[in-house]
């Protein structure tokens, strides 16, 4: 493993557990500890824990911080009360997605932005460039923090055991408190479609809380399971499904854009797209028969062999049992039920545009 890769504060735990480590977004991360399938099923049926220490932590505070963030982000910051979180986008002037992130309102004038690892430097630079108010303090505290996501239907019980009887915050709510001599920030959010929480603490405390979660019933899970879980829910991956060349509307995520609020970066482009219509949108695709695994880059064709686009994400779904993926397709094609085909190793696999998500709980 190249030493050029950054190491998370939980690396020692990963090695103890026999994790297979790979490079991801400049970080050395566990892709699996054993079977990806078993890790996937642990999250769907019980509780799994993921290292998310590679995520960026940007802090914003000071007078006028909410108004400034409301101009920089697509969702409406004013809808957030203290102790709440929301999914939102940071856009460039062309409406393209620099990053999709979670914004936490910790206090009236103090915010935390948890951004994607590969976009941390870019997001911080873009925010700093656009911060012209001296009273607003923007800091990158990523190197100081460890993070973990505990996901699955049994997480409430796991959390109670970990935290000495405390109950989980409500969905998308944030709780900050001290316990066992550590300051923790916990939010009931996740990236798997299951109930869950994300916990952030100082670097030195990360190993303790990860091990404690394991002792109380969570199973260590790697990036492999995280990818199959998120794709079953049609959750996009920045750098694959999302990019600076695509807008939230093209990505099918307009719900997290408030076009009715005052001006924000990229708003004019999105208004024009809404008025003129979209030429392409991100569509979920499901294979209709078994075959070789579909992967990012596989071409998507019409039934009469006209290429429509290429997969941005693709995998074999453990829950659905067939290949699933996403691709930007012409708007008129990207309608549920449209028949297409995915080319894998020279073989055409029949598929169709699906409804979201691929996986639904019984």
pLDDT 10s digits, 240-298: 999 999 999 999 999 999 999 999 999 999 999 999 999 999 999 999 999 899 999 99
Q: Both 349 and 224 in a single domain?
A: no
Q: Both 273 and 285 in a single domain?
A: no
pLDDT of 361 reads 84
- Per-residue pLDDT band for 3 (boundaries 50, 70, 90) equals low
Q: Both 272 and 286 in a single domain?
A: no
Mean pLDDT of the chain: 97
Q: Both 222 and 311 in a single domain?
A: no
Does residue 2 carry a pLDDT above 70?
Answer: no
Q: Both 299 and 328 in a single domain?
A: yes
Mean pLDDT of 312-330: 98
Does residue 151 carry a pLDDT above 60?
Answer: yes
Of 229, 251, 278, which residue is a domain's last?
A: 278
Judge whether 158 and 213 are in contact, CB under 8 Å. yes
Domains identified in the chain, total number: 2
Please tell me whether residue 70 adopts helix, strand or coil conformation.
Answer: helix
pLDDT of 132 reads 78
Look at 325 and 134; give whichever has higher pLDDT: 325
Of 236, 256, 278, which residue is a domain's last?
A: 278
Tens-place pLDDT, residues 42-61: 999 999 999 999 999 999 99
Which structural domain, as residue segments, surrounds residue 81? 1-278
Q: Both 152 and 273 in a single domain?
A: yes
Q: What is the domain-level CATH number for residue 322?
A: 2.40.30.110
Q: Both 240 and 326 in a single domain?
A: no
Tell me the CA distances in angstroms from 259 to 99, 103, 242, one per residue in order.
18, 18, 20
Q: Both 13 and 95 in a single domain?
A: yes
Judge whether 162 and 209 are in contact, CB under 8 Å. yes
Judge whether 270 and 248 are in contact, CB under 8 Å. yes
| Six-digit token string for 20 | 């297979």
Q: Both 327 and 239 in a single domain?
A: no
Of 278, 311, 334, which residue is a domain's last?
A: 278
Q: What is the pTM for the complete model shown?
A: 0.96
| Six-digit token string for 183 | 């300051």
| 191 alpha carbon, distance to own chain's centre | 5
Q: Both 235 and 129 in a single domain?
A: yes
Tens-place pLDDT, residues 206-215: 999 999 999 9
Q: Both 28 and 48 in a single domain?
A: yes
DSSP label at 153?
Answer: T
Cα 43 from Cα 229, distance rounded (Å):
8
Tell me the CA distances in angstroms from 8 to 60, 237, 316, one per residue in order.
23, 20, 28
| 161 alpha carbon, distance to own chain's centre | 26
Q: What is the domain-level CATH number for residue 183?
A: 3.30.1360.120
pLDDT of 133 reads 84
Q: Both 113 and 220 in a single domain?
A: yes
Q: Which residue has the tokens 């049609």?
A: 234
């Amino acid at each position: 493993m190249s030493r050029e890769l950054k190491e998370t504060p939980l690396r020692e735990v990963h090695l103890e557990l026999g994790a297979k480590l790979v490079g991801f977004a400049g970080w050395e991360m566990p892709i699996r500890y054993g079977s990806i399938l078993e890790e996937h099923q642990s999250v769907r049926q019980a509780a799994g824990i993921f290292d998310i220490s590679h995520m960026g932590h940007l802090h914003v505070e000071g007078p006028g911080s909410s108004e400034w963030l409301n101009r920089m982000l697509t969702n409406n910051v004013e809808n957030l009360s203290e102790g709440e979180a929301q999914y939102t986008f940071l856009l460039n002037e062309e409406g393209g997605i620099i990053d999709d992130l979670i914004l936490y309102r910790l206090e009236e004038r103090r915010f935390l932005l948890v951004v994607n690892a590969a976009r941390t430097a870019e997001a911080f630079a873009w925010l700093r460039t656009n911060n012209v108010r001296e009273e607003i303090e923007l800091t990158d505290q990523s190197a100081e923090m460890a993070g973990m996501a505990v996901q699955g239907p049994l997480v409430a019980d796991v959390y109670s055991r970990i935290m000495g009887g405390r109950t989980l915050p409500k969905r998308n709510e944030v709780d900050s408190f001290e316990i066992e001599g550590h300051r923790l920030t916990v939010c009931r959010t996740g990236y798997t479609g299951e109930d869950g929480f994300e916990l952030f603490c100082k670097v030195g405390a990360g190993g303790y809380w990860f091990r404690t979660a394991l002792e109380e019933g969570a199973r260590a899970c790697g990036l492999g399971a995280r990818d199959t879980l998120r794709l079953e829910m049609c959750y996009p991956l920045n750098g694959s499904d999302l990019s600076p060349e695509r807008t939230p509307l093209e990505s099918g995520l307009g719900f997290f854009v408030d076009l009715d609020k005052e001006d924000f970066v990229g708003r004019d482009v999105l208004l024009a797209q809404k008025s003129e219509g979209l030429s392409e949108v991100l569509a979920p695709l499901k294979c209709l028969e078994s075959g070789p695994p579909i992967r990012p880059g596989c071409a998507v064709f019409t039934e009469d062999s006209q290429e429509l686009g290429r997969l941005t994400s693709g995998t074999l779904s453990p829950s659905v049992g067939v290949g699933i993926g996403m691709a930007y397709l012409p708007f008129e094609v990207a309608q549920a039920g449209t028949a297409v085909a995915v080319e894998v190793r020279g073989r055409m696999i029949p598929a169709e545009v699906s409804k979201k998500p691929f996986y639904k709980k019984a």
